[in-house]
Amino acid sequence: MAKIEDILALERIENDIFRGIATETLLQRTFGGQVAGQSLVSAVRTVDPAFGVHSLHGYFLRPGNPEKSIVYQVERMRDGRSFATRRVTAIQDGKAIFTMSASFHIEDHGIEHQDVMPAVPMPDELTDAMDSPDPEYRWVHREWAEWEFRFVPQDRIVRRDGSAAQQQLWFRSRLPLPDDPVLHVCTLAYMSDMTLLGSSMVIHRDEQIQGASLDHAMWFLRPFRADDWLLYDQTSPAAGFGRALTQGRIFDSRGQFVAAVVQEGLSRTPRP
């Protein structure tokens, strides 16, 4: 697996056109987080550095071929005094496979509050996914070997009242990353697609489904580092009609609420 710095180091073909590398994978389709992360990088490169990304909204239109590079075309939708907006289309073989809108904001002052981080075991109390007896957790390690994962066992999760399905894990880069804050934001966009749809399956472990990310929305709330421990608190509040809704709250190890994610994914019974 390529290093995250290489995955996110896009080639600039034209002023607003970029190309991302193909990476080695165990997946049959290009990892959705890779397309989202590379799309965000391409958008960032067309915005004044005074603006920081605060949200993104993307749709997965077609499966990507993991053996081919992807071209990203950026449209400059708005450049205002406080906000800037970009729209990115990811293209393979002349067809759009993903589209994203990203919004950027110059930091302001205003009210502040946040949810409290849930009570969870700390990473040093949990087993590294590479050593887990659970084959699904070991598969996660094989696909993203550059990352360290510590899943919270289901019997140690403090359940929210009325919650249908929950999953929690800590993750971080195994190696130190450069200090560039933009790299950490784009890295989290890459990692945010990882395991999220799986939260819908924790109460359906014996069922076979065809799964894929359909759309992905993300909000960046506070600064963080992707090479420090991050808690991914995931829930799936509803599933039906072949789709599952999933949500994620991401906290750093100090309890700061740094990002929020919402995704709908395909979760249909395989067709004959």
263 flagged as catalytic = yes
166 flagged as catalytic = no
Task: Answer whether 196's CB lies under 8 Å from 261's CB.
Answer: yes
Task: Find where tokens 């994610």 sit.
Answer: 261
**Residue 181 in tokens:** 């804050």
114 flagged as catalytic = no
Cross-sheet strand order for the sheet of 95-105? 11-14, 17-20, 70-79, 83-92, 95-105, 52-60, 210-220, 257-268, 243-252, 230-240, 166-173, 147-151
Q: What is the dihedral of CA 255, 259, 262, 265, to 10 degrees?
A: -90
Catalytically annotated residue among 213, 234, 236, 267: 213
Catalytically annotated residue among 42, 103, 167, 263: 263
Cα–Cα distance, 121 to 75 (Å, whole number): 44
Please provide residue 58's backbone torsions phi and psi, each rounded to the nearest 5 degrees.
-130, 155
Catalytically annotated residue among 193, 227, 233, 252: 193
Active centre residues (catalytic): 193, 213, 263
